[in-house]
A and B are shown apart, each in its own frame.
Chain A
Amino acid sequence: MINLSHIYKTYTGPVHALKNVDLKIDKGEFVFLTGPSGAGKTTLFKMLSAYDRASSGSIDVAGYNLMGITPKDIPHFRRRIGVIYQDFKLLKDRTIFENVAMPLIVRGDRPQQIQRRVSEVLENVGLFSKAQQLPDFISGGEQQRTAIARALVHQPGLLIADEPTGNLDPELSEDIMDLLDRVCAQGTTVFVATHDHDMVKRRKRRTLQIKDGQIVGDLR
């Protein structure tokens, strides 16, 4: 599902955010990514989700070669994956329902289908009652769950989650992780960045450690 080799990412500065990263994740795996702040977790996810281009190396995700992807193919690749952004990336002028429905709208689903599927996902993240609110009028945790719902609504083959429980209380965090487990059980590959070491310990999943832009551990 994910195959990275010799990935470098250098931001202007220059900041060497990723240095010679090699990584392989199989279809259906559930993998945690941990590391201190500034280690390069978000940067790695940006490379995997075609949010940004790597400086060098090769990236294969879900059958797409992201180093050579054409502008025409980018949307099709992005429809195959779901991403929970650390900063959510919700549109402030659209309701929670509309935000969550967007991945289905852009691929041209029928309104009835959209209605049904969005309601279902909002139910799963406990936001059904907030469907008609605007993002600015709900709590940070609720915004985070909206972002989770939007990443799951189109049942992607790969879910990339950048600190999906960062704003949630422990109980809700557990609920969300259970939800991600269920999604994984249905065949989606799940890759989660987190600072929550207790949760990582409890869940006993493959865990990658990143530090200063390099993978320094891969615990199975």
Chain B
Amino acid sequence: MINHVIKTWKHHASLQLATLVVLIAGFTVITGVLTVSNNLYRILTLWGESMQMSVYLSETATIENTSAIEKFLGDSGKVDKVRLVTKDEALNQFRDQMASYAPDILKDKDLLRFIPASFQFGLNKNISIQDQLKVMQEITASVSGMAGVEEVSYGQDWVKSYGAIVNTLAWMGAAFVLVILLSAAFVMSNSIHSSIEQRREEIEVLELIGATRAHIRLPYIFEGALLGGTSSVLALGFSYGLFSATKNYLSGQIAFLQLAGHIEFIQPGFILMVVGFAIGIGALASYLCVRRINDGWAASQSLIEGH
């Protein structure tokens, strides 16, 4: 098999090189798309984690009401860091924030009555960003009906548009990756196809002297897998270089956005997926192509039939 590959490279070096370059380009694009969408997702998740929900308690809320609400939130498994902000704490916070702007307001005794106690919490990290809005709405719906609850707030409008953006991006990303994957598969099978088509004479002669299908096909399948694997690994290396350069740029030129610290290369799982996909598609494309030629009657179907 190794001999087959060496021979192929010796005699069809430029064709193989062209195929390899096309494949590397294809996988670089795939890796690039994966990296960008992965990081967009990460950044959006970071934003999502900083989203806070508040359940404001009514004036009449009893101790039992309060602990029932706390228990409900804790048992739901969907929220994190539940914290009770009492009236006094809320007032103090408010005072600290307002002191410099409107010192007069703080003298108003009635004000105390208008600042309610509340539960403050964030969403559990395990909740994917597509689900955040839904989960917030669910929590709002069930908590609103509980005794002692005045109002539930999560910055409804902002979260809605944030959720819409995330969902749109997720769909677009998935569609884009799918298109890229399909076209990569298409480009790969095309270049492997032409690379094998150029060697059809060898397949014809091997058939004529009685080589079995396995004997004829295996070296080509191995070669396709190797080509796919090699090009994806090279593409990953290449993409990593591009990624590092981009990251450097982000931390140097536009450091104020503080993005550099948060972006990262695609996860090891994705890397394995890309390489596995490449090997699989290389082997499959080779197999389909060599099978089409190697039907037992290859020589009689040759276009360049000699006499």
Give chain A's interface residues, CB within 8 Å of chain B: 42, 46, 49, 51-53, 71-72, 74-79, 83, 85-87, 89-91, 93, 102-103, 106-107, 150
Closest chain B CB from A88 CB (angstroms): 9
* Neighbour of A87 across the interface among B10, B11, B297, B307, CB < 8 A: B307
Chain B residues with CB under 8 A of A103: 209-210
* Neighbour of B297 across the interface among A52, A79, A102, CB < 8 A: A52
Bound-state CA distance A90–B209 (Å) is 11
Kindly supply a per-residue 1/0 record for chain B positions 205-225, scoring 1 wherever the CB is within 8 Å of any chain A CB and 0 otherwise.
Answer: 111111111010000000000
Say whether B208 contacts A51, CB under 8 Å.
Answer: yes
Say whether B213 contacts A78, CB under 8 Å.
Answer: no
Interface size class of B (residues with CB under 8 A): 20 to 34
Say whether B210 contacts A53, CB under 8 Å.
Answer: no
Chain A residues with CB under 8 A of B209: 78-79, 102-103, 106, 150
* Neighbour of B307 across the interface among A42, A71, A75, A107, CB < 8 A: A42
Chain B residues with CB under 8 A of A52: 297, 299-300
Say whether A76 contacts B210, CB under 8 Å.
Answer: yes
Chain B residues with CB under 8 A of A71: 213, 295-296
Interface residue B125 (Cβ < 8 Å from any Cβ of A): no
Closest chain A CB from B251 CB (angstroms): 52
Bound-state CA distance A43–B20 (Å) is 41
- Given A79-B210, A83-B208, A90-B205, 9 more pairs with CB closer than 8 A: A42-B307, A51-B208, A52-B297, A52-B299, A74-B296, A76-B210, A78-B207, A78-B208, A106-B211
Say whether B300 contacts A86, CB under 8 Å.
Answer: no
Q: Which residue of A lies closest to B199 (CB)?
A: A93
* Neighbour of A93 across the interface among B11, B208, B306, CB < 8 A: B11
Closest chain A CB from B208 CB (angstroms): 6
User: What are some 6 contacts across the A-B interface (CB < 8 A)?
Assistant: A49-B208, A75-B212, A79-B210, A87-B307, A91-B201, A93-B7
Interface residue B202 (Cβ < 8 Å from any Cβ of A): yes
* Neighbour of B210 across the interface among A46, A86, A93, A106, CB < 8 A: A106
Secondary structure call for the B interface: helix
Chain B residues with CB under 8 A of A91: 201-202, 205
Say whether A86 contacts B307, CB under 8 Å.
Answer: yes
- Identify the 10 closest CB pairs spanning chains A and B, nearest first: A52-B300, A79-B210, A78-B210, A87-B306, A106-B211, A71-B296, A74-B296, A93-B11, A75-B210, A103-B209
Chain B residues with CB under 8 A of A77: 210
Bound-state CA distance A42–B204 (Å) is 17
Q: Which residue of B lies closest to A88 (CB)?
A: B306
Bound-state CA distance A90–B210 (Å) is 14
Bound-state CA distance A71–B213 (Å) is 9
Bound-state CA distance A153–B208 (Å) is 14
Say whether A93 contacts B205, CB under 8 Å.
Answer: no
Chain B residues with CB under 8 A of A78: 207-210
Say whether A93 contacts B300, CB under 8 Å.
Answer: no
Chain A residues with CB under 8 A of B307: 42, 86-87
Bound-state CA distance A79–B215 (Å) is 14
Say whether A75 contacts B211, CB under 8 Å.
Answer: yes
Chain B residues with CB under 8 A of A87: 306-307
Chain B residues with CB under 8 A of A150: 209
Say whether B207 contacts A75, CB under 8 Å.
Answer: yes
* Neighbour of B208 across the interface among A72, A76, A89, CB < 8 A: A89
Bound-state CA distance A83–B208 (Å) is 9
Bound-state CA distance A72–B213 (Å) is 8
Which residues of B279-295 have CB atoms within 8 Å of chain A's CB atoms? 295
Say whether B206 contacts A106, CB under 8 Å.
Answer: yes
Closest chain B CB from A85 CB (angstroms): 8
Say whether A102 contacts B295, CB under 8 Å.
Answer: no
Known contacts being A75-B211, A75-B212, is A93 close to B295, with CB within 8 Å? no
Closest chain B CB from A140 CB (angstroms): 14
Chain A residues with CB under 8 A of B7: 93
Q: Which residue of B lies closest to A156 (CB)?
A: B210
